[in-house]
Amino acid sequence: MTETLKPETTEQVVEAIAWASGEETPVEIVGTGTKRRFGRPMGDGNRTIGHAVDLSGLSGITLYEPEELILSAWAGTPMAEIEAAVAEKGQMLAFEPPAFAGLYGETGGTLGGLIGCNLAGPRRVKIGAARDHILGIEAVTGRGELVKSGGRVVKNVTGYDLSKLLTGSFGTLAALTQVTIKVLPAPETVETVLVSGLGGADAVRAMTAALNSSHEVSGAAYVPPGLAQSVSGAQGDAVAVRVEGFSPSVDARSTALQELLSGFGSVATLDADASGALWRDVRDAAPFVGSDAPLWRVSVTPTAAAGISDAIANGIGGSSLIDWGGGLLWFEAEDAAAVRAVIAEHGGGHATLVRAPEETRRTTPVFQPQPAPLAALSARVKESFDPRHILNPGRMYEGV
């Protein structure tokens, strides 16, 4: 039975991890546990996880200066609390953090979990990933050492690469305790241009045309017929292209996009409320909520998206939800080897098994297998931060 340590201060996190390091006792770093099934089951050789360091006690916004567009919070702070605070001031987390908890039948999620997984939504095509919005980070390494990187303002970039390194490390290098992120003003209004009746290849061409235009598109996704019933406003099937900002600008850009995209298919628009519902569903992979089938999240070059999507649909899986203008595919498929073979045939990419039974995640590479030089570098980084392999051992790769 796992014993849980629940620190309420940074000093107590340092003590807990220093103790675990001294005893060479593997520990699970956890917040609210909504992403426990995202990644490999933890364990390192014959060592099992006997303790959890629960960071949910480190909760609350410690600094919010709307005029300076910065916010600091403890890692265990619920994302709902942060998003409500910035929304009250007419601001947002621009990287559009997705809520993947629903994929696992959970609710909630914390800032630390979000940053630990480096999650970002549809606006990534314009604004970047979570790691691109971190100004500062505080964490405790597997050595039991407190490290800090960055600062409160954009100009202070001291140690910024360390922040990027820890973002997306799934708690295998350090336990995050505090994070400082930049926020941005929320758009005054939003409109979505829909183009229906397209297949995968034409859909990618339409999204590419929109993203390459001068109309400042902030989201481009394709919902195929097989998934449209689970995405608000998709109307059977649709390419969805989003524009945001001040009302006159949005009106002008939407009109221009409708003209640009009318050559691809039938064009319609969604207002701000309907747009919000559609992009939340795309962000959170709503068509796959409520299923237990193995779920893949695959990052590829947009030119390869249609070929991969067709190969998946015709051979080993079902319909693919395409986001990031063709750069991201979501689909369900049982055969991991076949999935990675298809991706390799179409130029390569990064395939992540986001959801699967524990035994499947134990025997199948959850994250894209690394080339030998990169795997060696990852191992050296792990040794530097966590030489005794006590933090979430095996969560990303076996033995790391």
Whether the pLDDT of residue 108 is over 80: the answer is yes
Q: Give the pLDDT confidence score for residue 400 in this predicted structure.
A: 66
Rounded distance between C-alpha atoms, residue 290 and residue 32, angstroms? 20
Q: What is the mean pLDDT of residues 83-112?
A: 95
Of 333, 344, 331, 335, the C-alpha closest to 298 is 331
Residues 241-267: what's their mean pLDDT? 96
- Percent above pLDDT 90 for the chain: 85
Q: Which pLDDT belongs to residue 47?
A: 65
**pLDDT confidence bin for 236, thresholds 50/70/90:** confident
State mean pLDDT over 100-107.
Answer: 92
Q: What is the pLDDT of residues 296-319, one digit of tens each?
A: 999 999 999 999 999 999 888 889
Which domains are assigned to the chain? 55-185 (3.30.465.10), 189-283 (3.30.70.2190), 291-363 (3.30.70.940)
Q: Which residues of 169-178 are buried (b: 16+ CB within 10 A; e: fewer)?
A: bbbbbbbbbb
What is the rounded average pLDDT of the residues 231-258? Answer: 94
Average pLDDT, the chain: 92
